[in-house]
Amino acid sequence: MSGFKHSIKVPSKYKKVAAILKTAFESKKSLKSLIFEQKKHVKLRDMQALLTHYTDNQRAIDAAIEKCQILEENPRLSRELCITLVTELIYHRKDLKGDSKPVQTVRAYRKRIMKALGDENFAKKKDTKPRYVRINTNIVSIADAHAMLAENWYKKDCPPFENYDEFLKAVETLEENEYMVDMHVDDLLIFHSKQKYFWATHEYTESKKFMLQDKATCLAAKILNPPIGSIILDMCAAPGMKTIHLSNLVKNQGTIYAIEKDAERYRLLRSMTKKAKCKNIKPIEADVLTITPEQCPDVEYILLDPPCSGSGMQNRMCLNSEVDDAQRLQKLGGLQIKLLSHAMNFPHVKRIVYSTCSIHKEENEDVVKKCLYLNPNFKLLSAKKALRNKWCNLGDRQYDFGKKCLYSRPEKDLTIGMFIAIFEKLSNSEEVA
């Protein structure tokens, strides 16, 4: 649109979203990191929601824009602004603000775009994953949380579930005004997917009384299962969701060394854990590979949630073009092996949980295999057993240890995609044998 003067300005939200898309298309930066850079923008959540609608429906929107020839017939309209306005008009707010020229143009094409989208395609990709909300027990007890929620919601009464499928059925049939308690994580509550906006904007979330945290990401701390008052190392901690969960699990006692390398994300970790009233966290801004056991003495439990491709969250805020090429996966795998081997060098460590939100074996089973080979004084424990055998998706059976690892998969588990492996240090007698 450069060089063209509009008499009426395009609203700044649309311009900002279009600019983010342009950078994402042209550079190798991910949408998530670009939106993170806008974290002080007053319309951050709104922009995030708009971009999520686009990534959820990217193929359909791109195809419709092409089919109705709006860009060819209006050469001054940029592709990114067109995408922004179409997404806002059809999927997000269902309306456009103002009367700027680009807004008028997209409005005029509404019928043609809808036709191009086709009813089937348009209705197809809705996010039906439930809204998971975890109680931050540093601030609110579980009993008080239920009392607070009773003002607006009915608690679905569920008998003890015989099996995992029964539980999933109960989640899928939740009514919009109901919530239920998760079967694996007892401070995790499950709401209908339509309640996402309610929770995203509620004071309970802002004040960190409740944490918006996908179930899969709660499993890592739950499976590490540190006793109350333990000494824990959270190797890659920011923004701090799992750190706060760990703090809850150990009743805000003991010590959690929370390490973060990136200065900006470290600041976020500090402010999040402070707001969440964590008293047992020692944040350290450093590359964890330089952290010695002397700096974090007596660590017995380690959580390693390293940087990864994020492929398990593929349809959330991720463009189709952000593909995971083999070279990138190999590089990530190399770093993950280094980090996990470093964890295994802490002399008093008893248990380590390794988690990624990736579905690629290069970042998961391959990393586990290499680390077991390099560190024969560790063994894998069954993650399924840690969930009382009530879980289905396990690691790749082509690896002899595959069934000890766990995957969560969106299509079955109604969560994001994640991988988890639990390591335990062998006792002296096990090592000799």
Query: Of 215, 248, 251, 221, nearest to 233 (Cα)?
Result: 221
| Residues sharing a CB contact under 8 Å with residue 183, sequence separation 6 or more, in sequence order | 161, 164, 167, 390
Q: From the candidates 278, 318, 357, 405, give the one annotated as an active-site residue.
A: 357
| Lookup: tokens for 344 | 């295994």
Cα radius of gyration rounded to whole Å, the chain = 23
Token pair recorded at residue 84:
């922004």
Choice between 232 and 259, CB closer to ligand SAM: 259
Rounded CA separation 338/371 (Å): 9
- Amino acid of residue 221: A
Please tell me the distance from the alpha carbon of residue 353 to that of residue 400, in angstroms, as a whole number: 19
**Is 95 flagged in the annotation as binding?**
no
Cβ neighbors of 179 (< 8 A, separation 6 or more) are 133, 149, 153, 154, 155, 156, 189, 190, 191
Closest approach of ligand SAM to the CB of residue 171, in Å: 22
Q: Is 357 a catalytic residue?
A: yes
CB of residue 261 to ligand SAM, shortest distance in Å? 4
The CB-of-259 to ligand SAM minimum distance in angstroms stands at 5
Phi, psi (degrees; rounded to nearest 5) at 77: -85, 120
- If you count them, how many residues does the chain have? 433
Of 19 and 268, the one with the shorter C-beta distance to ligand SAM is: 268
Nearest distance, CB of residue 227 and ligand SAM, angstroms: 21
Judged by CB, which is closer to ligand SAM: 354, or 378?
Answer: 354
Element (H, E) at 172: helix 164-172
Q: Give least dist CB 264 to ligand SAM, A.
A: 9
Q: What is the dihedral of CA 278, 279, 285, 286, to 10 degrees?
A: -100
Residue with tokens 């922009």: 47
Task: Retrieve residue 108's tokens.
Answer: 């005029």
How far apart CA 420 and CA 306 sit, in angstroms, is 12
Q: Which CB, 88 or 305, lies closer to ligand SAM? A: 305
Q: DSSP letters along 217-277, please?
A: HHHHHHHH-PPTT-EEEESS-TT-HHHHHHHHHTTT-SEEEEEE--HHHHHHHHHHHHHTT
Cβ of residue 211: shortest distance to ligand SAM, in angstroms? 10
Smallest separation, CB 217 to ligand SAM (Å)? 6
Quick one: which H or E segment has residue 301? Answer: strand 301-304
- Ligand-binding annotation for 305, yes or no, is yes
How many angstroms separate the first and last alpha carbons of the chain?
Answer: 72
Would you state the structure tokens that stand for residue 419, as one six-digit string? 């991988």
CB 222, CB 203: distance < 8 Å: no
In the complex, the residues that contact ligand SAM under the rule CB under 6 A are: 236-242, 259-262, 265, 287-289, 305-307
* Catalytically active residues, by annotation: 357
Q: Which residues are documented as binding site?
A: 260, 287, 305
**Binding site per annotation, positions for S-adenosyl-L-methionine:** 260, 287, 305
